[in-house]
Amino acid sequence: MHKPRLTGLSAGTVFCESDIVPYFQPVCNVAQNDCDGAEVLMRLWHPEKGLILPAGFLDAVNTSDGMLSVTTVLMQKVKAVVIARGYPFHNAFTLAFNIPASVLSRPEFLCLCRDFLQDLRDYNISLMIEVTERECLVVNAELLGSLQVLRAMSVSIALDDFGTGYSGLWLLKHLPVDNIKVPLEFTSGIITDHVSACITDATIQLAHWLGISVTVEGVESEKIMTSVKERGADFVQGYYYSRPLNASQFFLFCDTLTQRY
Ligand code: G
Ligand code: MN
């Protein structure tokens, strides 16, 4: 059987559209003590190796065309599983996608987001873009124009893994940012390491001064969860709350939550 190949990848890469699998990691809204969003994570199905994490395949996809191609497939697959589920989210629910800078200003990406929201208009979903830290971002008229268009569509903008890679303070000065994500790199040491704790506190404080919400990622224990909440995080994400789930596990997670109300 012919399997559609992905375009724009490095020579010799043989990924197919059907190999891309969306995973969902639930995000806890601290004030509501409830889940009202999830980060969509890309996994690749390999016949011998099983599920591969992005670190194992992103290098092969590492062009603007390659990233646009896998992002397109991922968003279409998410759309398909949400529609196949057959009913909307109970409350307004945010789905966040990781998007590198080189894809953000592509007109095709804006169309993709518009179609995503249009096709899921009856499912109570809003869209968040996590600008990833791996690529140096050039703040130019093109990028700012794209972000303006996205915001006009009510898409929110997050800075992923803030304080690592290229995700630095300067982005706060130049981009319209709604949310900052504190990475595992700082979260993991929050109890034991003074520097990690200070960086997390300062990030939360700065974000709140600017009217920006904070998601602390990589929360792996109850102790860290408690500490992060006390430090003022608005959202919490990590293995302690939930591991990344496949679509059916994720919808079951959502259904179990709504049964409480
Ligand atoms: O860079 P980004 O924040 O998008 O990375 C998300 C990755 O981190 C995912 O691949 C996910 O599986 C992993 N992850 C999510 N929660 C945790 C956690 O609590 N601990 C660790 N070690 N990894 C996590
Ligand atoms: Mn992310």
Q: Do 152 and 111 form a contact (C-beta atoms < 8 A)?
A: no
For the chain, the farthest-separated pair of C-alpha atoms sits apart, in whole angstroms, at: 56
Residue nearest to atom 15 of ligand 1 (CA): 238
Q: Is the dihedral of CA 85, 87, 91, 93 positive or negative?
A: positive
CB 41 less than 6 A from any atom of ligand 1? yes
pLDDT in single tens digits along all 261 residues of the chain: 566 666 665 555 667 888 999 999 999 999 999 999 999 999 998 888 888 888 888 887 878 899 999 999 999 999 999 999 999 998 999 999 999 998 999 999 999 999 999 999 999 999 999 999 888 889 999 999 999 999 999 999 999 999 999 899 999 999 999 999 999 999 999 999 999 999 999 999 999 999 999 999 999 999 999 999 999 999 999 999 999 999 999 999 999 987 655
Q: 1 alpha carbon to ligand 2 midpoint, in Å? A: 34
d(Cα 178, Cα 118) in Å, to the nearest integer? 22
Q: For residue 127, report the phi and psi dihedrals to the nearest 5 degrees.
A: -115, 135
